[in-house]
Amino acid sequence: MDATVTLTGTGTPLPVPGRAGPGTLLRCGEWAGQVDAGRGTVLRLAELGVRCPQIGLLALTHYHSDHLVGVADLVLTRWVQGGNDPLVVLAPKGPTSRFAHRVLDIWADDIEVRQLHARRPAPPPLDIRSFDAPAEPTVVWRSGDVEISAIAVRHEPVEAAVAYRFDMADGAVVVSGDTRVCPEVERLAAGAQVLVHEACRSEAVRARGKDYIAAYHADTVHLGTMAERTGVATLVLTHLEPAPLTEHDVNAFAEDVRRGGFTGNLIVGEDLTTVPAAAETALST
């Protein structure tokens, strides 16, 4: 099946050249699913040669804007490019689910004029599958060779943030969303081959007076300790805070994780980094 995971964006709310907003693309055979859609997601998909109608599922982790500002772009571009089947949207109940139901409301006039001018059918309704953020790994969607599980994570005060696990024919991939290092992600990642996890160099962030950022993101040293316990073959760092601007900065992320004890394959993510679901090395960056 050649299942892969690709980082469509490794950035944070602050714009940084070369780093789009948070997003992760999963592919298994002809199936493609996207986790979150931050700024620039559609452009990153285009760079990969992926047309938006190829995306059959969008899984949302939580309602922070940096993870969602590209959702309308994805949905509308999918329609403009000829996608006529409903896009499945997974969203935990609460603010994230409410966002999914309202995402096209402000585009009603644009949609109407495009329908009249191009004589195109109305965009297909989103197939929103909302669920209670579960305390234990719980299957929230399955189709063919892909099964998706979710678990609530620790991103308080954000309500009902979740991580997702994709069990595919070639292996299992876990995408953390935004969270502190927590036992929930550890349980979800048990037996997985690849863990895509947000990463925050807490010492550097606190040195800049941004304690509130470090308070609800994943400390890189603690992440290394947790990832080693899970036994995952490959740990991919994304949503990098503070954004690495030099090779020294990139190495600092890796050094923190190694200091925490992780001995597996470690990738400090860049946009378009692609990793096979069943392998231990990056295919491309």
Enumerate the active-site residues.
Answer: 66
The answer to whether 9 touches 178, Cβ cutoff 8 Å, is: no
Q: How does strand 4-9 pair with strand 138-143? A: unpaired
CA 205 to chain centroid:
22
137: nearest Cα among 217, 192, 216, 214: 192
Using CA atoms of 149, 8, 271, 65 in order, give the dihedral in degrees to the nearest 10.
Answer: -90
253: Cβ contacts below 8 Å, ≥ 6 apart:
199, 201, 220, 237, 240, 244, 268
- Of the chain, the end-to-end C-alpha distance in Å amounts to 21
* CB proximity list for 145: less than 8 A, separation 6 or greater: 1, 28, 29, 31, 168, 169
Helix-then-strand count for the chain, H and E:
9, 14
In the structure encoding, which two tokens stand for residue 278, read together? 């069943």
> Residue 115 phi/psi, 5° resolution?
-60, -45
DSSP 242: S
Q: Could you give the CA distance from residue 91 to residue 190 in angstroms, rounded to a whole number?
A: 23
Ramachandran category for residue 18: left, alpha or beta (phi over 0 → left; psi -120 to 50 → alpha): left
